[in-house]
Amino acid sequence: GTQVTVEIHPKDTTPQLLKKLPFGKGPQRLPSLRGQDNKGFQRTEAPRPPGGKDLHAYPWDKSSLKSMPVDLQQFEKLDAYALKVNVTNSIEELVTTLLKQARTDLEKVRAIWMWICHHIEYDVVGYHDKSQLSSKPIDVLQTGKSICEGYAGLFEQMCSIAGIQCMKLSGYSKGYGYKMGQTFTGDSDHAWNAVYLDGRWHLLDSTWGSGAVDDSFTKFTFRYNEFYFLTHPALFINNHFPDNSNWQLLKPTLTLKDFENNMLHNSNFYSLGLLSTRPETAIIHTVNGKASISVDCRSATLFKFELKGTDEQGLMTLKKHGMMLDIYPQKTGSHKLQIFAKPSKASEDVYKCVLEYVIECQSVDKAMRFPKALHQPVGPSWFTERQGFLRPSHPDPIIHTNDGRCSLTFTLGKDLSVLATLHCDNSSLTEDERRRHIMKIHRGNQIELKIHLPHAGSFVLKIYTKKKSDSGNYDYIFNYLITCLNTEAKWPAFPLIYSKWAEDYEILEPLSGLLPANRNVQFKLKMHGIAKVLVQADDTHPLTQSKGYWEGTCNTSGCQEVFVMVQENANHSFYSHVLRYEVESQ
């Protein structure tokens, strides 16, 4: 008994009424039918243009990567189902099958998105030879390949059949072949979609969601990218500039000039929880041979960098919420800088490129040429804290010493054994000899590293650790850069320490491993649990115990070396060597 009025309009005109109506009594005007045919599907209304309630604030408020709340865990079953659907003869049949598991409009869009991203590959042959290419939705479905135009067209048609308002958008993109700082002119070079969900427009790019092409643009690899599903418009504008600025969905909108000048942050940047960078320009000019970059992030993240393929010309420090990097190019001209990151909890050692800059260097700071042994990042950080090095006396990565001496202290985590090494370019000393310029002193859970440099210059202090209970090798943890410009600074090595020297023993004097000839030398050593201590030179000199210290003097006449020996048990006559000093030649 229901009367229905059917209006017929030419294919591309806009209907007068944009309202879904229930089946009621009396003559009613229904929305237009858009799409291919009407096999039992609800049809979409003509899309309304974006308005005030669709707009998001620019710049990004750092809240969410998406333009609406999305719980990816709730999509797990739907995603798995969509991936298995294998219908390629009819778009209607494909949509019917996909929507069997989708209840809400969001789930319908998700199912279509997942299917396209995992079943349509980028047509690199068609991109180069347009005669081989069709972007018609049915051709895209049946061949399983297309370029962005075809992805966006198929997406639009599948949404239309599913009763979801969807628009195909076109514009400029910072995708394959983009060069930093380039300008955009002429026709648009990319296509993507907007979908209408929960009363607002949202943006997505299924081409970029599906994978990537290689540098030579000859091979496509499926590599799903969640970032481009309902991307927050303030992030989408980073590499998508629509022909119609209303489809930025931003307030205020950006000009093409803004788009060209803005730093390109790729999807890895945001997916890894990074928030912002300084500077915000892609090209950095050095000041007095130095360029500085910093990155802010939500949680502990590990970073690497490469300037022209190496990390030798910079100094990177990790911060709790990011990192700081000072670059000192050793040649003038343009240099490509890449910054990589990975989450601190990631099991595999895969760093992803998150930023690219061009460093324009007008002058070189030769003084900032770093030793080859310097490892990035430099200095203590949240990472070294996690490895058990707490409360460092020197929080900065560079230690400047005027007289060639310095001392570092840390509070150590439980059960840790520490090894330290000293490195320098063009040093005549062997690694073992350089290691004797570091003295370790343990006091309870504190460790002190005393360093006496053999000569002026730039040194790397590397610190390794292992659990005392482990018999295996030491693991590298971090390093410092130690610099001394005073050419008169020349310190002899510390005395040679033997294995019987216990970890918590301490030398107060003499600290120098080289004793003057024909002199009385004062000894003061902190040792415990020992019956007797002897200093053996030409004669043997016993030390006496007082308030936990063993003290006494020894004469260095007529000998080339001096040994300190201990008797651990008064009932045995056996002595062990613990220290060896050399005596200056006459």
- For residue 168, the one-letter residue type is K
How far is Cα 180 from Cα 501, in angstroms, rounded to an integer?
60
How far is Cα 530 from Cα 541, in angstroms, rounded to an integer?
16
How far is Cα 367 from Cα 328, in angstroms, rounded to an integer?
10
446 is written with which tokens? 């504190």
Torsion of CA 385, 387, 393, 398, to 10 degrees: -100
Report, in this order, helix, strand and coil percent for the chain, each rounded to 5.
20, 35, 45
In the sheet that holds 457-467, the strands lie side by side as 398-400, 475-484, 457-467, 416-423
Q: What are phi and psi of 200, to 5 degrees?
A: -140, 155
Is 190 assigned a catalytic role? yes
Residue with tokens 């790019």: 205
Which of the residues 54, 79, 123, 205 is marked catalytic?
205
Q: What is the 3-state secondary structure (H, E, C) of 346-369?
A: CCCCCCEEEEEEEEEECCCCHHHC
The CA distances from residue 366 to 308, 330, 331, in Å, are 18, 7, 10
Is 232 assigned a catalytic role? no
Which of the residues 117, 148, 361, 424 is marked catalytic?
148
How far is Cα 565 from Cα 573, in angstroms, rounded to an integer?
12
Contacts of 149-155 with CB under 8 Å at 24 or more apart are 149/191, 150/120, 150/123, 151/116, 151/120, 151/191, 151/206, 151/207, 151/210, 152/191, 152/192, 152/193, 152/206, 152/207, 153/191, 154/91, 154/116, 154/120, 155/112, 155/113, 155/116, 155/193, 155/204, 155/206
Residue with tokens 């243009």: 49
Is 205 assigned a catalytic role? yes
Which of the residues 56, 190, 232, 452 is marked catalytic?
190
Residue 184 parent element (H or E) = none
How far is Cα 355 from Cα 263, in angstroms, rounded to an integer?
9
Question: What positions carry a catalytic annotation?
Answer: 148, 190, 205
